[in-house]
Structure 1
Amino acid sequence: MKLYAELLKQLYKVIDRANIVIDEPMKNHTYFKVGGPADILVNPEDVSEVQAAIKICKENEVDYYLLGNGSNLLVKDGGIRGVIIKLSKLNKIEVEENKIIAQSGATLYDVAQVALGKGLKGMEFASGIPGSIGGAAAMNAGAYDGEMSMVMESMLAIDGNGELLTLNKDEMELSYRSSAILKYGYTVVSVTLSLQVGDVKVIKARMDTLAKRRSDKQPLEYPSAGSTFKRPEGHFAGKLIEDCGLKGTCVGDAQVSQKHSGFIINRKNASAKDILDLIILVQTEVEEKFGVKLYTEVKILGEEK
């Protein structure tokens, strides 16, 4: 840790030592349950600590990465050089009439449950997505004919210099699985959602229906990062993969799910390399057979072992 001596000294001044971990295995922080160690993992408790951590990393010319709850992340077996700033402790959710203001570390499930409790509709589609609202906002996540662009009114974000800025709907630059957050390397601090008043029973019934569809069709019993690939224009990734005869294909303990071909799962003891090699195999086969390029929806970070 000699390389990071000055950086750690500065971090310890603004963040409790108990919230700074050295050589932390990333398999403990991702839904895939794989990944080597991060040099430093920081768990800020408020927005000012996030700003301070970013500024310290910038001043020391050390790479940093933002982490929600790791539901859409694959970390390579060699781990991550630099600093992981984990936002899970920023999870406050507030309600003002038909608006919900949720900090970035709040889970989509919890936000949807708060909306349900207040009789507000619009977040049902996201109630089963295993991610944080910050990550969902950044990638404009969606499912079951809904996406974040339909409910987001504004975002509070941190720019690359550690300064706060507010983005309104037009400034978010929302498109399929993308936004200004990803384009410019901003960090989502909180999201303001504009919802509609609805019937609690109807909202609950919709959430229950989607939960059943999800459990019936998706391999929720295995570690994965959800849909592995973005939807190619005019196609469905899962169908292309299945039509290549790849359903159930394994590399080590990584497998194309037999329940849904759009998911790659960790059957038990897969390495990140197993998963990456299977991703490449699937991409190669689909392009050779159908001429369609598959791009990962899963974010890939880190170094080979």
Structure 2
Amino acid sequence: MWKNELRAAVKDCRFEEGAKLADYTTFRVGGPAALLAEPETEEALCALLDLVEQKNIPCLLIGNGSNLLVKDGGFDGLAIHLGASFAGITADGDRIQAQAGALLSKTAVFAVDHALAGMAFAHGIPGSLGGAVYMNAGAYGGEMSHIVESVRVWTPEGVKVYSCEDMHFSYRHSRLMDEKAVVLSAVLKLEKGDEQLIRDEMKKLLTRRKEKQPLEYPSAGSFFKRPAGHFAGALIENAGLKGFAIGGAKISEKHAGFLINFDHATARDVLDVMKAVQDQVFALYGVHLENEVRIVGKDK
């Protein structure tokens, strides 16, 4: 059985069968993984990915789990969680190198501690560096494509280094979303700045985020992508859907772009709210709201 083969073949790795994936996502919903792996070294991670590729095992990479919805039936494959062993951050002049599991918020704080400007936008984004690079995360006019210099990735052909241009970044998208590739680390090119001015900007953006976003509830951040010529939150609010709820999931009254878990929601609750909102907005405005959140797994 593939689970036993992986356990036997890969050292420096913690394995757990039936791990509840709700505990590994910021939405706090979702069923179990057939097998969860937490590699302790890059070599162990690459060995896992090589075996998964060879044996055609379904695989799910989880950093901070902040842009992920796992269905209630769980994930019939290997879930790989990048924990503390992949959270390293170092500085060299105006560049920062960060591993895929490093929290984006901590990377932004590390940058300001070294008087490096360009990451203030990322301070309140709850994801990991790997996930942020993978989907070109952004906020308040900034995005990862503005600061990424190079990315080290695992591919079935081996480890490669992609330049920013190689990544083919676009709105909430990179080439990695269309390929078999996993971020291992990235080099960020920043600018020397005034530490206090950078801190002030970060504080201002964080205050704005707290005032306007429902950070007190589990969610996956902005649930829908921004449709061309519109704002998803404004369309949802104008459709009268603020506070619209099914089960334990609802559209936030604070910010209509957020779908929150306010009362022990199931993934089915979240998906039902999502579908109802998409249908209503399309019926009223002819605009299809596309998920920014990645949905994986099977129904219960």
TM-score, scaled relative to structure 2: 0.98
2:82 paired with 1:87? yes
Task: Give the structure 2 partner of residue 140 of structure 1.
Answer: 136
Unaligned 5+ runs, structure 2: none
Take 1:162 and 1:27, find their aligned partners in 2: how far apart are those partners?
Answer: 32
**Cα distance in 2, alignment partners of residues 122 and 83 from structure 1:** 36
| Post-superposition offset of 1:13 | 3.3
Aligned twin of 1:171: 166
Given that 1:248 and 1:258 are in contact with CA atoms closer than 8 Å, whether structure 2 keeps it comes out as yes
Contact 1:31–1:71 at 8 Å: present in 2 too? Answer: yes
Partner of 2:297: 302
Tell me the distance in 2 between the aligned counterparts of 1:294 and 1:26.
26
1:268 Cα deviation (Å)?
A: 1.9
Question: Deviation of residue 189 (structure 1)?
Answer: 0.3
Residues 98, 194 of structure 1: 8 Å contact kept: yes
2:12 touches 2:44 (CA, 8 Å); kept in 1?
Answer: no
- Structure 2: which amino acid aligns with 1:63? P
Q: Deviations over 1:232-285 (max 9, x none)?
A: 000000000001000000000101000000000000211000000000000000
Aligned to 2:151: 155
| Matched residue, 1:32 | 27
Distance 2:294 2:11 in 1: 27
Matches of 1:30 and 1:37 in 2, distance apart? 12
- Is 1:292 aligned with 2:287? yes
Cα deviation digits, residues 90-139 of structure 1 (max 9, x gap):
11101111000000000011101110110000000000100001000010
Q: Counterparts of 2:223 and 2:68 in 1: how far apart (Å)?
A: 10
Shift of 1:169: 1.5
- Give the conservation status (yes or no) of the 8 Å contact 2:3–2:35: no
Q: 1:107 aligns with which of 98, 103, 107?
A: 103
Question: What is residue 265 of structure 1 aligned with on the other side?
Answer: 260
Residue 46 (structure 1) shift: 1.7
Q: 1:175 to 1:59 in 2, by over 3 A?
A: same
Tell me the distance in 1 between the aligned counterparts of 2:201 and 2:286. 38
Please give the alpha-carbon distance, in whole angstroms, between the structure 1 residues aligned to 2:3 and 2:277: 41
The DSSP-based 3-state class of the residue aligned with 1:260 is: coil
Residue identity matched to 2:65: G
Residue in 2 aligned with 1:221? 216
Cα root mean square deviation, aligned: 1.0
Count of aligned pairs: 299
When normalised by structure 1's length, the TM-score is 0.96
The residue type equivalent to 1:265 in the other structure is I
Aligned AA (1:163): G
* Alpha-carbon distance, 1:180 to partner: 1.2
- Please list the CA deviations of residues 136-178 of structure 1 after superposition, one character each: whole Å capped at 9, or x if unmatched: 001000000100010000000011x161000011110100011
Unaligned residue ranges in structure 1 (runs of 5+): none
| 1:269-288 pair list within 5 angstroms | 269-288=264-283
Overall identity of the aligned pairs, in %: 44
